Every structure is written in C-alpha cells, then in structure tokens.
Structure 1
Amino acid sequence: MAAMTGAGLRRGARGIAATCALLILASCGGGTFFGQTREERIANQENPATLARDARRNRTQSSVFDLFSNSDDPNTTIEVNKYLWAASLDVLSFMPVQNADPFSGIIQFGFAAPPGGGRAYQATVYVRDPALDARSLNVALRTRSGAAPRETQRAIEDAILTRARQLRIQDSRL
C-alpha cells in the first residue's frame, strides 16, 4: 500500500467535504416553492397554534414527575372556574345534561320545566374564564318557541353567580 502524498490527502478531504455538503443540501429538500403562487405558499404554511399542538402531542415524558409539571402554554390552555362550573350544574340540576366539556367550559342542557313552572327551557352555559366574575359566565336560554326573555336569562345568571360565591365561601372555611 502506497503512502498518500499531501496532494492526495487534500483531494480526499475535498471529496469528503463535497460529499457532506451534498448530503446536507439533499436533506434540506422537500420545501421547494418552484411553480407555486404566493397564495399557495401561504396556504401551505402551518400556523403557530398547529405547531404548538403537534409539539405537545409528540412530546415524550422523561419521568413520572413531568406529568405533574405545569408546562402547558397558557395561550392554548383554557381554564374554567370550578365554582361557576359546579354552580351551573347545581342551579340547573332540574335540566338533563346533554353535553359537558370541562376543558372548553361549555355545558349544554336539554329541555325541562323548572319546579313549579309550566314552560320548558333549554340552556347552554359557557364559563370562559378562571375568574369568579360575571364576565366569566354566559348563559343562553331558550324555550321551544324561541329565545327566552332577557330577564329570565339574567335571573339564571344571577342565581349561578350567587351559588358560585356560596361554594367559594364554603371552600375557604375548610
């Protein structure tokens, strides 16, 4: 086996460097925009919310304690006030719950007449904030013939807020 000269080593190093550069460039492919309009390029881009959701899905937990860490992005996490949630279920307990999603804060109730009342109502409650505040609660009430009177809707919201405050006071005594 003949010993390599300095020129041979340089040629070999250049060949290896060129091969590495080609491999790096080849691995960057796939994102070509040739032949696409500006609108098509914009439509193909992913938005930050999709990227954050996919990152959370693909994230692997390194230990059991990582399950209890609060590493969620506050911009994508929806928090619901537990007192407003429980008070809504308590005040409207005469109605059947059709759908409840504690992560988005929406409770849908079916038609039912209140105790001692003759008119049946259907309600959708939206708890949209972690604060125990009137702005955090939105109640949509309707009858079989259309929208319920605004006064009735306001009375239901007030009853839910009052019950939520009572539940909070009970928790603070414990």
Structure 2
Amino acid sequence: MTSPRILRLLAITLVAATLAACGARDGEDTVRAPSDPDTDRSDARLSEGAGSQTIWEAFGRRDVETNVAVNKYIWSASLEVLDFLPVQSVDPFTGVIITGFGRPPGGGRAYRATVLINDPALDARALNVSLQTQNGPASAATIRAVEDAILSRARQLRIADNRF
C-alpha cells in the first residue's frame, strides 16, 4: 500500500469511529408553542431540553416539530397599515413580511418595509419594523410612527373580535 492510501484509510476509519460514538440520546428535545396566540407573554415561553449531543444536531438537523406562533392581529394590522406598499414576500409561519418600494398616500418619499412578528403576544416586543427609503434608512421617528399605527390597529382588531 502506498502512503496516500494509508492516510485515506486512516481518515475514513477516524470518521467512522467518530460517527459511531455519536449515539442516540435517551430523551428527546421538545419545543412547544402555546396553542392560543393571544396568551400572555409569561405563558408563551418555550421549553427546550438539554443541549445537542448527536452529530446530526450539531449540523442543524432536528427531528422535532417546531411550531412558531405569530399574533394574528399584528399580522393583519401590518398588512392593513402597509397596504400602500407592494408585497414581495410573506411567510406567516416565521412572521416575516417584505415589501417593495411604494409611496404613502399624500407622501412624497418612497419607502420599503420589512416586518418581523416574533411572538404570539399582542405586545410591542413582538413587532420589529425596518423601513428604508431610496436614499438609505428611514428616521427613527418614522419607524416608531409606523410601529404605533400597526399596534393601534392590532388592538382595534382584537377589540372588534370580542376577545378583549
């Protein structure tokens, strides 16, 4: 046998031994989201098991189902408030709305928005808005005004749904 073949055989043996040492764990990680999207923030905590122990978990493969809860009122309010912007992409499972450039009614500047809803609670912490003009990022006051408009509309939708 030549030296490169011996090194290749040694490397394959080392990889096989490493993979064999990574056995399945006794317990499984569980991630549970609340069933009601309007729960209080204290009820919306996710429970997770111990850290990863197998080679597959180290590379990001997960066998458990993850349910991401998005607040339906904030989702609907975001689409209503930003209805003047052309929607490019929406993903209700991760809570992301991406729009193209558009001008608000009566406004001169064009804006583009990215909205992230990352919590099932009807709370300001659940909403992240990013606005951009054609010349760069929008002012903090404009972003705050859009966030306030979305949250106000979400509260109105919840009250109209008789869940308050």
What TM-score range do you get, normalising by the shorter chain? 0.5 to 0.7
Structure scoring higher RCO (CA < 8 A, sep ≥ 6) equals 2
Larger radius of gyration, structure 1 or 2?
A: 1
TM-score (norm. length: structure 1): 0.62
**Which of 139, 146, 149 is matched with 2:129 structurally?**
139
Structure 2 unmatched runs, 5+: 1-11, 23-53
1:125–1:51 CA distance, 2 compared to 1 (3 A)? closer
Distance 2:98 2:55 in 1: 36
The DSSP-based 3-state class of the residue aligned with 1:36 is helix
**Which of 55, 64, 74 is matched with 1:45 structurally?**
55
**Count of matched residue positions in the alignment of Structure 1 and Structure 2:** 119
Distance 2:105 2:13 in 1: 68
After TM superposition, the structure 1 = structure 2 runs for residues 103-114 of structure 1, keeping only pairs within 5 Å, are 103-114=93-104
Structure 1 counterpart of 2:55, which letter? Q
CA shift, 1:132, in A, is 0.2
Distance 2:61 2:18 in 1: 19
Please state if 1:89 is matched with 2:89.
Answer: no
1:37–1:133 CA distance, 2 compared to 1 (3 A)? same
Please state if 1:166 is matched with 2:156.
Answer: yes
After TM superposition, the structure 1 = structure 2 runs for residues 54-69 of structure 1, keeping only pairs within 5 Å, are none
**Structure 1 equivalent of residue 147 of structure 2:** 157
1:39–1:143 CA distance, 2 compared to 1 (3 A)? farther
CA shift, 1:52, in A, is 1.5
Report % sequence identity.
54
